[in-house]
Structure 1
Amino acid sequence: MTALTIGLLASLLALGPTAPASADEAAVEATASLASTSSTTVSVPVADGITPTALRGRVVASDLLGGPLRFSVGGRTLKTVAAETGPVFLPVRASDVGDDGAIDLTMTYRPTERCPGGSGPADVALTNLTLVYTGDETAPRTVGTFFPDSSPRIDVSVPADASDDLLAAALTAVASLTARYGDATVVQLSVASRQLPRVGPGQRLIRLEPGTGDTSTDVAVRFGLPTLTLTGNGDGLRTAAQALGSDALTLASGPSSTGLSETLERRTEDLEVSFADLGLQRLTLVGPAEATATVGVAQDVFGGPVDGLTVHAEGTYTAVPDTTDVQLSTYVNGYLVDSQLLDPQADGNTVTIDADVPADVITSDNGIEFRLSSTADVGACEADDDGSVPVEVHLDGGASTVTATRGDGGQDLSAYPQVLGGVLPVALRPTGEDRVDAAIDAAYLVHSLQAAAVAPLDVTLVDADSLVQGSSNGLLVGATPEDADTVGAPLRLDSMRLLDYAEAEFGVGSNQPFAALESVVDGDRHLLLLGTWTADGSAAPALPRALATQAATDGWGTLADDLLVVSPGTDPFSLSSAEVVPQEEVVEERTGFVWWLGAGIAVLLLLLLWQVARTARRDHQVKRLVDAQERADSDARGSVTLAGEEDPGHDDDGHPRA
């Protein structure tokens, strides 16, 4: 009947270091969705010290069946409006903020036309949601309270001459904080001397400074921003940065601390997960007409790539009226894998679903959708006071599972992050001042990969030569042409041309610089290479930065094929290496191989001809021997008569016969 979705999407409002006394607005940077009959709830974080006064947004409605749209908090109705597209203003108060520091906003839609036969499922969306508030955020005073429940932006800063110890800790901090907040929070690496944008309550700054001895942590307000400074060196600094995303951080109750540390455990590779493991203890679908519920299953949850899925679901359903047909269908990424009618006469009213998912349907991030559809006799609908024929299906999250079979991941960029298995070695090829810029590019990619992962990535900084010549997965930033050659990258960092490419007006000539983010399969390992090529060998830092920022902004799930390419004057776009005309270096390699292959074939032909000639010569010799033997036998038969035989040419006395 109704597919109800709330999307809380907006651009962050830029605010100054301090908020004025009058009411301000801060965008709620989050998404929440629930496809069900009538209701969904989303949490709106409220920073300490500010007083919420209203929520402002826009309702987008389509294919509705009539009826009101109700907004409530904790059972208290904020407003009831007609379910139609338009702005909405919802007054709230400080008491609406729960113990978790958030306002739980519930949106409920109840159509008046409950029976089928209309235009189909209705869609209701709440977009551009902002929190209207007064007051200033209370600055955190302890390490344990430093991070808010929600943050629009967190910057990790290092000195311009940062050592590898600081860069390793910075990349780890980016991954750890991204794992804590998800893709709704901007997490970026920056140089300490650069000015940071201000985006409102909840913004935080992490400073990494070199030091000796145990790693120390200090909380203060610097330039109007709550700032946490980590000072240390070596792996101790990196493990302290890893702890920033841990729930155990709340144990640090003072403004400073020492010995902060967390070590990630190696992830298990369990090929079976329950819906409960995925955060869904129970799924409920309520009819009549149509209702849906979705389970998200990323490949990364299985600890590696997969090429097969089996869905098993168990549940119960309410009694089905004799006048109603109820169908429960299962889709994976929009592909129908199972459909069955619910039997009104079944004992116990239980339902079981077992469905295999074809390999070509599986993606990096999969959606399993259960769709309840019911049709009823119109008279039966009209008989109810409220016009409804209630049908409910409850799926048990603990008993329902998804089982996978291990795969190799393939070569496309969509093979990540699952092919990493939770471990991400990062190598930076540039040296000197360019090394920090390369680390910033790497941080964008780490943020994007971590946002797509289901668990924290164990990020380490490794030597570039060791990564290129080794056997482990990883990310190499600032890759050189030699690096690309060594690992057999699909696109060598050399001049190239493209085949006709309908989706972009893009051509790279022999002297046109470009940058590429490449997915490389090198034997049994997967590598990500970010590199640039220019005809004169000069640096073009804007090109790899464009690729890295797009991956972070749009999300890793938007990347396709095995290449992301950009050239001056173009926007980055995905590309298959099959659409690249073979480059001169590749042609030379293949030409060399062809010469060796040709030489080998020539030798084989010579051997074959020699063998044929030798065989022919031997056959000729044998034939000559046979002919000679036959002539000798013929002569012998002409002059010798065996005993008992009569010579037809002579009589008994030896005289010729007449």
Structure 2
Amino acid sequence: MRGATRVRARRVAAWTLLSALLAVPATLLPGAPASADATSVPGTLSTAAQNTSTLQVPVPAGVQVSAIDAVVTQSEVTEGTVISFLVNGAVRLQVPSALYQKVSVPVTPADVVADGTIAFSVLTSATPAAGATCAPAGGVAALRKIELQYTGAETPPTTLAGFFPASSSGITVVIPSDADDDMITAGLTAVAALAYRYDDTTPVNLSLNVPDAATATASQRVVALTPGRAGEVTTAVSTTSGIPLLTFAGEGDDLVDAVRTLSTDTLGLSGTDAVDPSLQTKPRSTEKTRSLEDLGVDPVALTGYGSVTQQIELRQDSFGEPVDAMALHLEGTHTAFASTSGARLDVRANGTLVGSTVLGDEARFDLDVELPASAIRSVNDITMTLTAVAPDGSACTPPSIPAAEVDVDGDASTVTVGHGTGKTQGFQLFPQIFEGTLPVALRATEGRKASAAVNAAALISALQRAAGTPLTIQLMDPDAFLADDRSGLMVGALAADSEALDAPLKLSSTRLLDREDSVQEITSQDPYAVLESIDRNNRLVLMLGSWAPSDKAAPGELARKVVDAVVNTGWADLDGDLVIADAANPAFVTASRSLAPHQTVEEEKSYAKWFVVVIAVLLLLLALQVVVAIRRDRQLSRERDEDELGYDTDGPAYVEDEDWDEHTPETYEVDALGDVDDLEVHDHTDEARPDEEGEPDDAYGDLDPDAAPEDAEADVDEDLEDDDLEWDEDDELDELDDDWDDGEDDDWGDWGEEAEEIGPDPDPAASEPLDEPEDEPELADEPETADEPETADEEPDEQADEPPRRRWSDQQQATTSGPAEPAEPLEPPTTPPATPSSKRTRRRRRR
């Protein structure tokens, strides 16, 4: 009975102990295994560069590894190319070339070396040529999304010195949800310090809550900040939700200085849990010339034949200020190469070839290169490529031949820069423009600054990875930040903030989309969020804001979508100056360039206006040409009249007394119709002279304006018959012009009868003289008269063939509607010499 009682009591005690163990919270069990059996491995692999084709995969203590998974991509498929995956230098898996494929490389706990890592590498090889002893490289393969498959639970760290692993799957900084400004500043500083320490793709986040145990993975860490006693900072190592936890307790500037040491290993050098805030990182340097070793660049060593590449990074922020010029001086040693090897060293900056040198039998080399101003970025990728063939002509390293080597001297090789922003624009102006100090303004909805600090921390983490030294965070009030003139970061901006900062994209319902050939304006009531790079009056600001109807803030998910896009892209690869996201579309990066709030929308290009402009110009030129031609004709006509009459035809003019006889008009009889009876005088006429065949040459004889005819005086008593008159085209035009000027409406059919009745009047007193002007103006300057030809042999003027047509002024016209009263002639009229020009003149005066 007693035995049975003892057994029963032992069972009850066992169940009681088991129940108590089950009731213990998971946070008190340091060895609680993580629920996940895969942990992400930060970093990527690529066969394009020698230093990126091998990755040291950290293995958390206490877990049993089983495989390494990854996604492999190639830009093009190469026939016969094989991708090989090596574990600690031994081929573990081979797959054919493909654009995209997932691979799982098996590993065992025996592959974990003493430092707790596995050397994982990848290479590509093409089919070797006939007789070759090695296989050349076959294209470029890249690995991403690398994960370590494992079983078991990680052994959590127990000391501060071993808390942070060499590589972590993620680090979370936790602050209270009601944190004040000092606590928020400490949290943002801790994020910046850890992002600088894990300068790779390790996620570093700020949160208001401890991560869920369901998402915990091996190598994950949590850093918690809590209020403490003034004047001191304490630390403690524990676990939470199965994740190793490091707690900082303190307040004010002491806490900020303590978490700043997370950027280096100095935190664990004290040997105790107490933190020595006096341990600081190396100060920033603004020297224009720095060596590669001072800049923290890893040693460069190129090994092998064929094409071998190694890559380094040069950050603008490492020089203390923005730079607009960068020159490299490289020195080093190399293997002696024969002239037939074609050995050379090429240097590229951000993909652009900037320098090259031939490697010969001398063991040392030096090379000076300069980066183009347009190619300088916040983080500049410098690649050095060794190209050479082996002594047997192979583009790879045969097993029987030592590999070629090129070593760059990091201490003798230098980088010289010039300070300035140069041609850098948009997001690439950051973080070097901050010069180590980053003012941050948080505009939080409902007064919760800690919520806005989460997005600010993600942007600070991305900026810190592009910086050369840890950033100093200064938290500012939003209104004070708007009134300041320093560059900085504003998170949670609203429509009024975008107006105050003069952002390229104002936060409103109107959005402008920049296309290649036009700017399209869209009005939408859908909320959206945007990260903008603002450059106004030499002040550079990063603004994360959002918009919803009534100019309110959009839901927090949209701002988080923008932040995640920036983090996934990486600040070094972020171009443009806008990152926009809404609920329906993923975030995208663009450039504002010519965006303006009220720019005219152009749907498509049209060349119609240019055709109209061209036609208008042609019409204008044509009209101008017509005007010029008319003016020229009038000028020529005026000059001909002046040459013939001896005075200016624009107005009445008078001549000297000795020339009065030549210019005084003759007096003629006026018939009953009022026509001047001067048919005995004809322009340019002589008696018709027969030609060689006996036919008259022309009705008026040969016209020679330069030589006067022999019989200058025409016989006015000779009767003129209709058959003796023949009019040429020019005379008809003259008659038409004269009739039009005189307003006559003669009947051309009766012309012959009138001509028979008209004859000379033997009584000179019966003829009517021309009316003289009543009021004579003052005598004008003597006009220049055309010179008469000296001899009859001179050629006549070409313009004399066609008599000019003009109108006489009212003072010079002699034709009247009724009989004209005779006027006393100034002097006895004399008949001027009968030259062709004088006859034409008298006939026109008759009209």
Q: TM-score range by the shorter chain?
A: 0.7 to 0.9
**Matched-pair contact (CA < 8 Å) for 1:17–1:198:** no
1:553-607 deviations in Å (ceiling 9; x for gaps): 32223322222223342322223233534259xxxxxxxxxxxxxxxxxxxxxxx
Q: Is 1:28 the equivalent of 2:45? A: no
1:545 is matched with which residue? Answer: 560
Separation of aligned partners in 2, 1:64 and 1:314: 39
Q: Which runs of 5+ in 2 are unaligned?
A: 1-29, 600-847
Cα offset, 1:128, TM superposition: 4.8
- SS at 1:436's partner residue? helix
Cα offset, 1:415, TM superposition: 0.9
**Matched-pair contact (CA < 8 Å) for 1:492–1:583:** no
1:522-573 deviations in Å (ceiling 9; x for gaps): 4343221122233313331333222222222322233222222233423222
1:245-256, aligned counterparts within 5 Å?
245-251=263-269, 253-254=271-272, 256=273
2:418 is matched with which residue? Answer: 405
Please point out which of 231, 234, 239 is paired with 1:221: 239
**Matched-pair contact (CA < 8 Å) for 1:153–1:199:** no
Cα offset, 1:435, TM superposition: 1.9
Taking a change above 3 Å as real, the CA distance of residues 17 and 460 of structure 1, as seen in their structure-2 partners, is: farther
Taking a change above 3 Å as real, the CA distance of residues 411 and 290 of structure 1, as seen in their structure-2 partners, is: closer
Separation of aligned partners in 2, 1:240 and 1:498: 46
Taking a change above 3 Å as real, the CA distance of residues 319 and 36 of structure 1, as seen in their structure-2 partners, is: farther
- SS at 1:184's partner residue? coil
1:200 is matched with which residue? Answer: 217
1:12 is matched with which residue? Answer: none
Larger radius of gyration: 2
1:359 is matched with which residue? Answer: 373
Separation of aligned partners in 2, 1:70 and 1:574: 35
1:594 is matched with which residue? Answer: none
**Matched-pair contact (CA < 8 Å) for 1:566–1:572:** yes
Q: Is 1:182 the equivalent of 2:191? A: no
1:81-230, aligned counterparts within 5 Å?
81=94, 87=103, 89-94=105-110, 96-99=112-115, 101-105=116-120, 112-113=128-129, 122-192=139-209, 195=212, 198-213=215-230, 214-230=232-248
Q: Is 1:530 the equivalent of 2:547? A: no
**Matched-pair contact (CA < 8 Å) for 1:17–1:225:** no
Cα offset, 1:338, TM superposition: 2.1
Cα offset, 1:299, TM superposition: 1.9
Cα offset, 1:183, TM superposition: 4.0
Separation of aligned partners in 2, 1:386 and 1:212: 66
Taking a change above 3 Å as real, the CA distance of residues 92 and 108 of structure 1, as seen in their structure-2 partners, is: farther
Separation of aligned partners in 2, 1:535 and 1:67: 56
Taking a change above 3 Å as real, the CA distance of residues 116 and 106 of structure 1, as seen in their structure-2 partners, is: closer
Cα offset, 1:360, TM superposition: 1.0
**Greater RCO structure (CA 8 Å; 6+ sep):** 1
Please point out which of 317, 336, 344 is paired with 2:353: 336
1:226-264 deviations in Å (ceiling 9; x for gaps): 22222222112222222233311213545x546657555
Q: Is 1:462 the equivalent of 2:465? A: no
Q: CA RMSD in A?
A: 3.9
**Matched-pair contact (CA < 8 Å) for 2:504–2:595:** no
The one-letter amino acid paired with 1:179 is Y
Q: Is 1:519 the equivalent of 2:536? A: no
1:340-370 deviations in Å (ceiling 9; x for gaps): 43345xxx34322112221112222222222
1:369 is matched with which residue? Answer: 383
Q: Is 1:562 the equivalent of 2:580? A: no
1:453-478 deviations in Å (ceiling 9; x for gaps): 23211122122233221232211112
- SS at 1:179's partner residue? helix
Q: Is 1:572 the equivalent of 2:590? A: no
1:483-505 deviations in Å (ceiling 9; x for gaps): 33333332333343314536999
**Matched-pair contact (CA < 8 Å) for 1:313–1:399:** yes
Taking a change above 3 Å as real, the CA distance of residues 411 and 142 of structure 1, as seen in their structure-2 partners, is: same
Separation of aligned partners in 2, 1:460 and 1:106: 42
- SS at 2:482's partner residue? helix
The one-letter amino acid paired with 2:190 is A
2:439 is matched with which residue? Answer: 425
Please point out which of 215, 234, 238 is paired with 2:256: 238
- SS at 1:549's partner residue? helix
TM-score (norm 2): 0.59
Cα offset, 1:27, TM superposition: 3.0
Separation of aligned partners in 2, 1:32 and 1:475: 33
Separation of aligned partners in 1, 2:133 and 2:469: 42
The one-letter amino acid paired with 1:44 is V
Q: Is 1:475 the equivalent of 2:489? A: yes
- SS at 2:343's partner residue? strand
- SS at 1:393's partner residue? strand
Taking a change above 3 Å as real, the CA distance of residues 578 and 89 of structure 1, as seen in their structure-2 partners, is: closer
**Matched-pair contact (CA < 8 Å) for 1:59–1:127:** yes
The one-letter amino acid paired with 1:557 is A
Separation of aligned partners in 1, 2:527 and 2:122: 51
- SS at 2:308's partner residue? strand
Taking a change above 3 Å as real, the CA distance of residues 290 and 30 of structure 1, as seen in their structure-2 partners, is: closer
1:485-634, aligned counterparts within 5 Å?
485-501=499-515, 508-509=522-523, 511-540=525-554, 541-583=556-598
2:690 is matched with which residue? Answer: none
Cα offset, 1:439, TM superposition: 1.0
1:69-118 deviations in Å (ceiling 9; x for gaps): 47343x7x46475776684534333573323x323345567774598999
1:439-450, aligned counterparts within 5 Å?
439-450=453-464
Separation of aligned partners in 1, 2:596 and 2:590: 12
Separation of aligned partners in 1, 2:151 and 2:324: 52
Cα offset, 1:63, TM superposition: 4.5
Separation of aligned partners in 2, 1:152 and 1:411: 33
Taking a change above 3 Å as real, the CA distance of residues 220 and 395 of structure 1, as seen in their structure-2 partners, is: closer
**Matched-pair contact (CA < 8 Å) for 2:504–2:596:** no
Separation of aligned partners in 1, 2:255 and 2:180: 12
**Larger strand proportion, structure 1 or 2?**
1
TM-score (norm 1): 0.74
Taking a change above 3 Å as real, the CA distance of residues 72 and 64 of structure 1, as seen in their structure-2 partners, is: farther
1:297-312, aligned counterparts within 5 Å?
297-312=314-329
Separation of aligned partners in 2, 1:478 and 1:532: 7
**Matched-pair contact (CA < 8 Å) for 2:192–2:471:** yes
**Matched-pair contact (CA < 8 Å) for 2:505–2:511:** no
1:256-267, aligned counterparts within 5 Å?
256-257=273-274, 263=280, 266-267=283-284
Cα offset, 1:303, TM superposition: 2.1
1:408-451 deviations in Å (ceiling 9; x for gaps): 26540111111111211211123644322211111111111112
Separation of aligned partners in 2, 1:554 and 1:69: 28
The one-letter amino acid paired with 1:154 is I
The one-letter amino acid paired with 1:272 is T
The one-letter amino acid paired with 1:514 is Y
Percent same amino acid among aligned pairs? Answer: 34
Q: Which moved more, 1:62-71 or 1:526-535?
A: 62-71
Separation of aligned partners in 2, 1:198 and 1:533: 32
- SS at 1:148's partner residue? coil
- SS at 1:483's partner residue? helix
